[in-house]
């Protein structure tokens, strides 16, 4: 934009300098987060997520259907990255404690992810089912393909696009399409909306949320939240209320 303006000035004043092309590296714009609609203000009641989970039954293999239903639910209920979920091994899940251990993730860090009891029950139920559908020794991964191997990242995205079409989810703009990673955005936004609804300290919840999501800096978490008009409106209302106090 600056170079285009300089070209415009140069037409009127030849002494104006035009910066050379490529002087400042250009970046592709970040995708606009697709925040999945919710029936209530809660991280666990997303209507569109329920639709995605329901259409997994249309997948040909019962094991594939169960795997993707569990993957979608796990991403929605924890805000995990797709890569973190497909790297989980069976020893990383503690059924008695309801805690996942996410190892060697972004920046080489590991963290503990406590699960809601319903999520822990669903993961345990999936493991029992997959052992019935694919008995015998196999890949140590929690989430497996019908061949018994760990899910591949590219295959997850291909299947996601298929499920999105079957669930009838449409892009909201050319840069706002339903992606698996947007479940992470939706989880973050819903968590802060819950905090505001309960009149909790948003800053304190943001710090906890950053740790839960595995962000090294809360600023990275804040970017997730800046795309939610409802959240910005609530934050603005709280600021107005604070300024009106005597």
Q: Where are the domains of the chain?
A: 47-231
CB 143 within 8 A of CB 67: yes
Beta bridge partners of 114: 99
3-state secondary structure of 170: coil
pLDDT score recorded for residue 85: 96
DSSP structure class, residue 70: H
Q: Compute, in degrees rounded to 10, the torsion defined by CA atoms 106, 107, 110, 114.
A: -50
Active centre residues (catalytic) = 81, 106, 181, 184, 215, 224
Beta bridge partners of 38: 46
pLDDT along the chain (246 residues), means of 10: 82 86 70 69 61 95 97 94 95 95 83 94 96 87 95 96 94 89 87 77 77 78 66 60 58
The whole-angstrom separation of Cα 5 and Cα 240 is 39
CATH number for the region 47-231 comes to 1.10.443.10
| 97 contact partners, CB below 8 Å, separation of at least 6 | none
Residue identified by tokens 């997850």 is 156
CB 98 within 8 A of CB 89: no
pLDDT score recorded for residue 41: 36
Burial-class residue 143 by CB neighbours within 10 Å (0-12, 13-18, 19+): buried
């Amino acid at each position: 934009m600056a170079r285009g303006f300089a070209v415009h000035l140069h037409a009127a004043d030849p002494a104006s300098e035009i910066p050379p092309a490529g002087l400042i590296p250009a970046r592709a714009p970040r995708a606009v987060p697709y925040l999945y609609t919710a029936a209530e203000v809660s991280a666990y009641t997303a209507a569109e997520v329920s639709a995605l989970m329901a259409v997994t039954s249309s997948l040909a293999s019962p094991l594939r259907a169960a795997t993707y239903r569990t993957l979608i639910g796990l991403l929605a209920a924890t805000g995990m990255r797709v890569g973190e979920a497909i790297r989980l091994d069976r020893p990383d899940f503690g059924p008695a404690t309801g805690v996942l251990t996410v190892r060697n993730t972004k920046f080489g860090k590991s963290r503990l992810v406590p699960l809601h009891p319903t999520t822990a029950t669903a993961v345990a139920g999936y493991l029992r089912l997959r052992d019935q559908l694919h008995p015998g020794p196999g890949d140590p991964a929690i989430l497996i393909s019908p061949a018994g191997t760990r899910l591949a990242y590219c295959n997850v995205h291909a299947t996601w696009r298929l499920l999105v079409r079957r669930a009838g989810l449409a892009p909201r703009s050319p840069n706002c399409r339903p992606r698996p990673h947007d479940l992470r955005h939706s989880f973050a936004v819903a968590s802060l909306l819950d905090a505001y609804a309960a009149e909790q300290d948003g800053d304190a919840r943001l710090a906890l949320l950053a740790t839960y999501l595995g962000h090294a800096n809360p600023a990275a978490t804040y970017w997730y939240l800046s795309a939610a008009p409802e959240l910005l409106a609530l934050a603005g209302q709280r600021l107005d209320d604070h300024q009106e106090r005597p």
